[in-house]
Amino acid sequence: MNTLLIVDDVRALADQFAYDLRRLMSAEAIVATDGDAALEILAREPVDFERL
């Protein structure tokens, strides 16, 4: 299963994208709302796709 990182400063939008990706694509989606958080996740988690 692929893991996707969703980065958006609007938390609701990021959650929306992540939910739909999990529901429709059965993918693992991780959410970040700023660049620093996204870099921390990238350093910690293996991510296959990023959507900024």
Q: Which is nearer to another protein, 10 or 46 (CB)?
A: 10
In the window 5-34, what residues touch another protein (CB under 8 A)? 10-13, 15-16, 19-20, 34
Q: State the nearest-atom distance from the C-beta of 44 to another protein, in Å.
A: 20
Quick check: 51 binds another protein (CB under 8 A)? Answer: no
Instruction: Give the HSE-up count for residue 24: Cα atoms under 13 Å, Cβ half-sphere.
Output: 6
**Cβ–Cβ under 8 Å, residues 32 and 11:** no
**Where does residue 26 fall: left (phi above 0), alpha (psi -120 to 50 degrees), or beta otherwise?**
left
Given the rule CB under 8 A, which residues bind another protein?
A: 10-13, 15-16, 19-20, 34
